[in-house]
Every structure is written in C-alpha cells, then in structure tokens.
Amino acid sequence: MCKEHQQLEQLIANNQQWSKTCVEKDSEFFHRLAAQQHPDYLWIGCSDSRVPANDIVGLAPGELFVHRNIANAVQATDFNCLSVLQYAVEVLKVKHIIVCGHYGCGGVQAAMGTEELGLADNWLRQIKDIYVKHKADLDNLRFRDQQINRLCELNVIEQVGNLAKTKVVQHAWQRGQELSIHGWVYSICDGLVNDLQVTTDNLSQVDSAYHLSPTDGATRPEIATAVSCEIPKK
C-alpha cells in the first residue's frame, strides 16, 4: 500500500473513532444534528488550516455556518461567498455575521509584496488596494510584523464594510431583520480573538452612496445614455 493511500486510510480511521466517541458521549448527537441546522452565526474566515472556526468559539457542528477563502475576503464578484451570504441571511436567518481574520495571515503578507504568485494575484488585488490606501500609516510602524498585523485588522474592517454594501444585507435591514456584522482577528499565538469594535447593524452606518432601494423587474430604473459631449473644465 502506497504512503498516500495509507494517509487517507488514517483519515478514515480517525473519522470512525470520532463518530464512535461522539455517540458514546451523546447517543442522540447525530440524530439531532441530522434533523436540521439552526445556526445564529455566519463565519467568514481565512482558509488557513490553523484557524478552526467551530473550535475557536466553542460551538458544536450545526451551530456555525462557515465560509472560508484566502484572507477572508468579501468581493462583489465572488458569487460563492455571496451565495453563502444569501442562504445564511434569507434561509437560515442568522443574526450575526463574523468576519474573522488572523494575525500573520499569509494572504495579507503576499498582498504587501511585489512577487507574482499566479492566479492568487487577482484575488489579493483588493487587499493590495487596502495596503496602498493605508501605506503611509503602516510605514510609520517600526517592525514588519506590526505592519502585517495592522493590515490584517484593516482588511477585516474593509470586509465588514463590503458586507454592509451588499444587497443581501441591506434588504435584510430594510425588512427589519435582526442582523449584525462583526470584525474579529484571531491570534494563532494564544488562541484568542480580538474584537475590533466595528459592529455594523443598520443602514445608517453605511455611506449613502452605497444605499440600495429594493426594485423588481417592473420598477428598475432605465439607464439613460450620455447626451452631452461637453468635457468638464478643470
């Protein structure tokens, strides 16, 4: 048996032991879990294998709806993330969305550099924009690790704002649905989360330029073509 196959066999054995242990502790665990999920929380976190969402906050399976990607980004063109968001808000009726980054994030570090990484460069472009936006302040920090960790925080803050700009979230608020967005950063060094105190729970906290009024096929505005060729004077 090849080494790779042995490794997979070990995972299956681990799964069997885990299932057995769960049943020994609680004979109804899987019956209850299979009934349906009613999580109050949507977790948007980094794909880093050292950041296990449920374990960090001490929640059992079924109590936390999870979406993960490189550097916990919320992008307007990411239909994977937006689909998860819509399902969590409109079907599961979660009350809290937690964007959780982590200090020392490799994706954030990569966005601060100039070396080509491949396809990931496109994904990290948004985070690089955040870096450029705050570069003067970051450069004032003495140590590289401080700069990286501060950008990890700034990235989470930006993603909280991106969530608040989505139609899914704004429509929920307009319906009167209870929904709050929170920004945390997890430390792999001590296992603790840092609440950045950027909770957003209503439309008044979003710049009016991003406010979206609900429409349907019959009420959507027509977009007029430009009729003036006059160039604005500087």
Look up 102 and say whether it is catalytic: yes
CB neighbour list of residue 222: distance below 8 Å, 6 or more residues apart: none
Look up 105 and say whether it is catalytic: yes
65: amino acid identity, one letter: F
Look up 142 and say whether it is catalytic: no
Contact of 70 with 120, CB cutoff 8 Å = yes
Listing DSSP states for 6-74 in one string gives: HHHHHHHHHHHHHHHHHHHH-TTHHHHHHH----SEEEEEE--TT--HHHHHT--TTS-EEEEEGGG--
Which residue is catalytic, options 46, 81, 100, 152?
A: 46
Contact of 165 with 85, CB cutoff 8 Å = no
Which residue is catalytic, options 5, 50, 142, 220?
A: 50
Look up 38 and say whether it is catalytic: no
Which residue is catalytic, options 67, 81, 100, 105?
A: 105
Contact of 122 with 200, CB cutoff 8 Å = no
Look up 31 and say whether it is catalytic: no
Which residue is catalytic, options 81, 100, 102, 182?
A: 102
* CA dist., res. 59 & res. 52, Å (int): 11
Contact of 101 with 73, CB cutoff 8 Å = no
Q: Helix (H, G, I), strand (E, B), or coil: what is residue 234? A: coil
Please identify every residue annotated as catalytic: 46, 48, 50, 102, 105
